[in-house]
Structure formats: structure tokens, C-alpha cells
């Protein structure tokens, strides 16, 4: 033997690690019918690897999960007695496993994620989980959204606190060995928003606190209970939201997992008066046109600003500003410069709160 070890050393090879007989220290559940999955724990299951598992001499299907764990299924023909695990070095013998009952007790091996907010979807992995009737997070009942023999998906319920997960099946109750940590989001607040009024489509900057944080963010912004279809959480203190169609005058609210913040001030949804503006260029060089309002609101056409702009180097520059007559028409002399022109009627907020919409004419090209 000394000579063999010396030869291996001279060849630059290591002597093989000594093999060990497997050891079974426990198993769970301790009772169950044929088809029940049993987790066997111990040591030396991979040194060398276990090649046979039986329940009181009835050969079982099994998987060697690690050096300390084997998953085995109670086989047909099994009777009450010890479990055996055999490798090339020997056989381990357990205490008595009782074959019986209609259902097998569940086990929880792990869950993911290990922490989250109320509403988080948690996947619980284990054995014998079919037919789960209840999942609780530290005693608070949760909704089950999916259930198989090896996985249950449940939603962290309102009022849940940090603690173990418990799962009930017809075969019994399983309790996680570790706690699920419930992340608590603070209640958001709204301190201000700007502008304080505007039509549908207006971008509103909302300022406050706790709009986002570790593991959570704003889930909804509403204008007088109408959800904003577009909003961006810029930071924990800033949200930009677009006034949605069907919104009416009222308070703004922000919803996060921590609760709902409601503004003390009212956002006024203004009526938008759609407009159009025309442009005709007369040579040497006169710009004329007309501002028209779709709904006939006179204040959006009469005595309103119109800018005449020319395109230069890819940008529009105002070359002359004028004001319409009481009928909405305008006319203004320009420098006689060739190029592309347009007329623009900027948006105007009326004293009544309505908004005269932005209007831009089609491009008109002026040549000599």
C-alpha cells in the first residue's frame, strides 16, 4: 500500500478520497401513502453516490439532490419499516417510515422572493403541495394563484407582517424554516402640482414625498378618479402625469403600495377650443390669413396673437408678430426673403378657464 501511494505521488497524482458509508439522520414526512414524496437528509450521499433507495425493501424512485439530501417517492409494494440508502461503501438504515393515510404531508423547501411588498407574488417550492387549501404570511391569509405538486404561488396579503409562511394541504401543514420579510412602503403625500389647470393632454408636474423607494413605486395617478394612462415617476418626490381623456375638475391622487395621497388643491380641467390658422403669401411680401375655431368660440379668434415664422437651418424663427381683427383675419408686411413660411397661433388660456388650442398653418414656400 505504501508503495502504491508512493507511485501515485511520483506520477504527480493525488490519492483518491476515502469513500464513506451513507448516513440517514431524518426524513420528512414520517408517514404517507404510496406516491408520497419523502425528503431524506443525512450525509455521504455522494461519496460515492447513492445508487439504491428502498422503503422496507421496496425499491423507490429517487434523486440525489446533494451530499446531504435525497428526494424519494414511496413505491408500490412499500410497507411500514425503515428506509435504506445504499452506495458502494455500504447501506444506511433509518428509523421507521409508516406507509399509510390518504394524503402525504407537505414540506416547504424554499420561497422566492424572500421579501416584498403587499401584493408581491411569492413562489413557494416544496413537496406534496397539491390541493393546497390555505397559505398564510405570519398568520394572515393569502390568495393562492397557482398550485402544483411542487409549487404554490401566493400573493402577499394586506396587513401581512414579517414572519414564516404556512401552507395547508389535505395532508397537513408545512411551515417555512425562515421568515418572509414584508417591506413596508411609507404613505405618499402631495404638496403641490403645476400647472393648476389645463385641458386634456396637459402635462402636470406633481411634487410630494414617497412616490417611490426601495422595492416599490407609484402604481396609479388619477385626476378626479380618472386614471392617467401616461405618467412617469422621476424620483421619490416628483411625478409627471398627462391629463387623461374624460378627466374632470377635481383632486389629484397618487397610489403606491404604501397608500393613497390626495391633493388638497383642485386641478381644473379646462375645455380645449381647437383652432386652425391659414397663411397666404402675396408677392413682395405680404402675409395674410384667418384664425378659425372649431366650436365657434369668438374669444379664440378675435384679437389673438399670430406669429409668422420662416424656416432657417432646420429651425423656425419668428420674423413678424401681429394680432387678428375682431373677425379673426390678419395681414402683415414682411421682408421679401425667399424661403418656407408658416403661421402660428400660440395657445391661450381664457379668463373663463378654457384654452384656445395651438394652431399652425401648412408650410408655404415663397420664391421670387
What is the reported pLDDT for 102?
A: 86
Shared domain for 288 and 264, answered yes or no, is no
> Which pLDDT does position 3 carry in this prediction?
42
What is the rounded distance in angstroms from the CA atom of residue 36 to the CA atom of residue 97? 11
pTM above 0.75, yes or no: no
User: Rounded to the nearest 5°, which phi and psi values hold at 47?
Assistant: -140, 70
**Residue whose C-alpha cell reads 439522520 in the numeric block:** 25
- Give the domain range for residue 165: 107-182
Q: Which of these, 206, 1, 303, 177, lies nearest to 167 by C-alpha position?
A: 177
Q: Which tens digit of pLDDT belongs to each residue from 165-183?
A: 999 999 999 999 999 999 8
pLDDT, average across residues 85-104: 94
Q: So what's the pLDDT on residue 91?
A: 97
The most confident of the ranges 3-12, 100-109, 148-157 is 148-157
Residues 286 and 359 reside in one and the same domain: yes
Question: How do residues 233-267 score in pLDDT, each as one tens digit?
Answer: 999 999 999 999 999 999 999 999 888 999 999 99
| Burial readout 155-174 (b: 16 or more C-beta within 10 A, e: otherwise) | bbbeebeebbbbbebebbeb
- The stretch 215-232 carries a mean pLDDT of 94
Question: 123 and 44 in one domain?
Answer: no
| Burial of 323 per CB tally in 10 Å (0-12, 13-18, 19+) | exposed
Q: What is the pLDDT of residues 105-143, one digit of tens each?
A: 999 999 999 998 888 999 999 999 999 999 999 999 999
Task: Look at residue 184 and tell me whether its pLDDT is greater than 90.
Answer: no
Tell me which of 122, 149, 182 is where a domain ends. Answer: 182
In this structure, the answer to whether residues 264 and 278 fall within a common structural domain is no
Residue 285 in domain: yes
End-to-end CA distance of the chain: 110
Q: Can you give the pLDDT at residue 14?
A: 43
Is the per-residue pLDDT at 25 higher than 80? yes
Instruction: Look at the chain and report how many structural domains it folds into.
Output: 4
Question: How would you list the strands of the sheet with 189-194, edge to edge?
Answer: 189-194, 203-209, 238-242, 231-235
Q: Please check whether residue 18 lies inside any domain of the structure.
A: no
Residue 47 vs residue 359, higher pLDDT: 359
Q: Looking at the domain assignment, is residue 12 inside a domain?
A: no
- Residue 4 is assigned to a structural domain of this protein: no
Domain boundary among 182, 214, 249: 182
Shared domain for 49 and 122, answered yes or no, is no
Domain assignment of residue 16, yes or no: no
The pLDDT value recorded for residue 185 is 87
- The answer as to whether 15 is a domain residue is no
Residues 229 and 295 in one domain: no
Confirm whether 76 is domain-assigned: yes
Residue 214 in this model has a pLDDT that exceeds 90? no
Question: Regarding predicted confidence, which is higher, 270 or 191?
Answer: 191
Tell me: pLDDT of 310 over 70. Answer: yes
Asked whether the predicted pLDDT for residue 7 surpasses 90, the reply is no
pLDDT score of 12: 43
* Listed residues 79, 99, 119: the one ending a domain: 99
pLDDT at 5: 37
How does pLDDT run across 55-79, given as a tens digit for each residue? 999 999 999 999 999 999 999 999 9
Residue 84 has pLDDT above 60, yes or no: yes
Name the band, by pLDDT with cuts 50, 70 and 90, for residue 303.
Answer: very high
* pLDDT at residue 339 greater than cutoff 80: yes
Q: Residue 261 has what pLDDT?
A: 97
> Residue written as cell 416547504?
108
Render the burial of 248-274: b for 16+ CB within 10 Å, e for the rest.
Answer: eebebbbbbbbeebebeeebebbebbb
Q: Is residue 3 part of a domain?
A: no
d(CA 308, CA 332) in angstroms, rounded, equals: 9
User: Does residue 201 share a domain with residue 176?
Assistant: no
Q: Same domain for 134 and 214? A: no
Query: Do 231 and 303 share a domain, yes or no?
Result: no
- On whether both 263 and 327 belong to a single domain, the answer is no
How does the average pLDDT of the chain come out, rounded? Answer: 92
Q: What is the CATH number of the domain that holds 178?
A: 2.60.40.10
Residue 17 — very low, low, confident or very high, per pLDDT cuts 50/70/90? low
pLDDT at 13 over 90: no
Amino acid at each position: 500500500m505504501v508503495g502504491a501511494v508512493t507511485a501515485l505521488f511520483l506520477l504527480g497524482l493525488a490519492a483518491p478520497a476515502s469513500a464513506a458509508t451513507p448516513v440517514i439522520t431524518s426524513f420528512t414526512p414520517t408517514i404517507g401513502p404510496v406516491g408520497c414524496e419523502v425528503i431524506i437528509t443525512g450525509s455521504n450521499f455522494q461519496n460515492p453516490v447513492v445508487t439504491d433507495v428502498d422503503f422496507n425493501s421496496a425499491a423507490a424512485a429517487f434523486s440525489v439532490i446533494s451530499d446531504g439530501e435525497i428526494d424519494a417517492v414511496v413505491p408500490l409494494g412499500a410497507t411500514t419499516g425503515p428506509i435504506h440508502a445504499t452506495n458502494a461503501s455500504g447501506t444506511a438504515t433509518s428509523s421507521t417510515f409508516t406507509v399509510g393515510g390518504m394524503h402525504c404531508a407537505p414540506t416547504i423547501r424554499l420561497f422566492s422572493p424572500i421579501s416584498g411588498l403587499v401584493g408581491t407574488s411569492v413562489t413557494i417550492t416544496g413537496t406534496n403541495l397539491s390541493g393546497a387549501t390555505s397559505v398564510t404570511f405570519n398568520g394572515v391569509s393569502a390568495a393562492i394563484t397557482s398550485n402544483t405538486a411542487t409549487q404554490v404561488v401566493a400573493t402577499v396579503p394586506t396587513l401581512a407582517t414579517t414572519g414564516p409562511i404556512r401552507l395547508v394541504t389535505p395532508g397537513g401543514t408545512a411551515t417555512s424554516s425562515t421568515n418572509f420579510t414584508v417591506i413596508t412602503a411609507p404613505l405618499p403625500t402631495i404638496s403641490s402640482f403645476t400647472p393648476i389647470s389645463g385641458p386634456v393632454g396637459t402635462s402636470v408636474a406633481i411634487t410630494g414625498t414617497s412616490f417611490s423607494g426601495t422595492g416599490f413605486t407609484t402604481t396609479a395617478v388619477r385626476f378626479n378618479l380618472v386614471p392617467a394612462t401616461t405618467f412617469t415617476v422621476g424620483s421619490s418626490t416628483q411625478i409627471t402625469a398627462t391629463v387623461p381623456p374624460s378627466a374632470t375638475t377635481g383632486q389629484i391622487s397618487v397610489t403606491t403600495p404604501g397608500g393613497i395621497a390626495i391633493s388638497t388643491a383642485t386641478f381644473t380641467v379646462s375645455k380645449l377650443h381647437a383652432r386652425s390658422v391659414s397663411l397666404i403669401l402675396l408677392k413682395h411680401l405680404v402675409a395674410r390669413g384667418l384664425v378659425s375655431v372649431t366650436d365657434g368660440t369668438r374669444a379664440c379668434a378675435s384679437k389673438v396673437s399670430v406669429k409668422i415664422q420662416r424656416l432657417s437651418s432646420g429651425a423656425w424663427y419668428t420674423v413678424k408678430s401681429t394680432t387678428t381683427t375682431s373677425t379673426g383675419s390678419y395681414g402683415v408686411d414682411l421682408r421679401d426673403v425667399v424661403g418656407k413660411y408658416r403661421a402660428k397661433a400660440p395657445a391661450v388660456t381664457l379668463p373663463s378657464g378654457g384654452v384656445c388650442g395651438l394652431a399652425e398653418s401648412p408650410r408655404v414656400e415663397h420664391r421670387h
